[in-house]
Amino acid sequence: MKVGQQFPLTIKRLGINGEGVGFFKRNVVFVKGAIPGEVVTAQVTKLSRSFAEAKIVKIREKSPHRQQAPCPVYEECGGCQLQHIRYEHQLVEKRDIVIQALERYAPQLLEQTEIHATLGMDEPWHYRNKSQFQVRKEGKRVYAGLFAAGTNQLLNINDCLVQHPVTSKITVATRKILQKLNIPIYDGKTLDGIIRTIVVRTGVKTGETQVVLVTTRKDIPHLEELMTRMLRIDPSIVSITQNINREKTGIIFGEETHLLHGKETIHETLGEFGFDLASRAFFQLNPTQTVILYNEIKKAAALTGKESVVDAYCGVGTIGLWLANEAQEVRGMDIVPESVQNARENAKKHGFTHAKYVTGKAEDVLARWQKQDFTPDVITVDPPRTGLTQSFITTVKKLRPSRLIYTSCNPSTLAKDLQDLSTLYEVTYIQPVDMFPQTSQVECVTLLTLK
């Protein structure tokens, strides 16, 4: 193959990033926007040693699951990958992405593990409760949005179809205020300017909204006027904070946060539980579907009231508190101090005196507790996309809890970790849950039982 070459290609599967996957002369070819079952004329755009990337020149045989993507910037944005596929079929393909991960990293588990159908949403639009839009300036105009896939070009986004409408409304109005007040905007090349990101999180159930201005330094010109105008945008705004990030990095938040107006936190509910969320505290981005996810975790935990439970990577304590009514004891840990503080406050507020939260790495804290003669019956984990650390897996194998419930947002790292854990645990089943409709991401709840 060579760049520019065209050939007919039958699309066999959907890749983990949402692209169609085909094979040409035994070479893997990834085709953005292609759907399994389609035959396309593909043109090679990039070659590497193990695969090629291509674009669609023509769809020769069209999938019955194809639709026109409703978002006007879908092709350029890259934030969503599956809007061109009807939603009911997105759920089918996400289950297959899980199967592919097992085929690649843990093939022996595929034959003995039940993989359930993906649990989807009744309304798969406007579900995200938090937006993080970069701010830039071209000429006199201020933009807020996302960078086009694989580029440094910022797309100005006025209405993101997967964001809660109030987050879009507040972001657009805030960037217009910044423009009118001529407040210096961050330049990603020169590193000059002040305002770099607008973060908006809203309580879907409570109607409370927090706005975070991420800046390069503490002093913001025209701050009083800025606050006055921002508070007029929407009555749901009860908290405005400033986070300072001086580093040249893709990470949104820095370590320093200051309250500019209102409360330090906003309140949100999940089921019967309420949570207070600080600016940097982790909280699920799709609270509607989170209830479905957490109920699956509870089902897998199968608690009787006699078990001690560890909620590793606990965030603000949501999963542990979800299980607390049916557990004898709950303990959790996280590396973000604000999250741990929120978890303690949330436990206290709900009257859970048998829930304890500490700051630290999960494996370090578990090892310390083991020395204090505490061994959990059940461990539930919801790690970042990189999966579990080897030291954490080693610690779990030493502790040998009877059940491990592994919630994962990355099928590839899940499959690798399951391969390792399967020496001691039976992988009972995997339940995919669609936390992010229109994207290629799929969450999984996996039950592992001690052999």
Residues with catalytic roles: 409
**Read out DSSP for 174-186?**
HHHHHHHTTPPBP
Q: Which two tokens mark 321?
A: 């508190």
Amino acid at site 75: E
Q: Please report, for residues 58, 188, 244, 245, 254, the alpha-carbon distance to residue 216 in angstroms, rounded to integers and kept in the order given.
A: 46, 11, 6, 5, 9
Other beta carbons less than 10 A from residue 337's beta carbon? 11
Contact 52, 44 (CB under 8 A): yes
Using CA atoms, how far apart are residues 404 and 381, in angstroms rounded to an integer? 8
Query: Quick one: which of 61, 35, 104 has its CA closest to 412?
Result: 104
Orientation of helix 223-231 relative to helix 165-180, angle to 10°: 150
Pairing of strands 130-138, 195-202: antiparallel
Query: Quick one: which of 24, 20, 21, 35 has its CA closest to 2?
Result: 24
DSSP tag of 248: S
Pairing of strands 308-312, 329-334: parallel
Long-range contact set of residues 48-51: C-beta below 8 Å, sequence gap at least 24? 51/27
Using CA atoms, how far apart are residues 80 and 144, in angstroms rounded to an integer? 17
Using CA atoms, how far apart are residues 415 and 302, in angstroms rounded to an integer? 23
Query: Quick one: which of 277, 437, 428, 271 has its CA closest to 346?
Result: 277
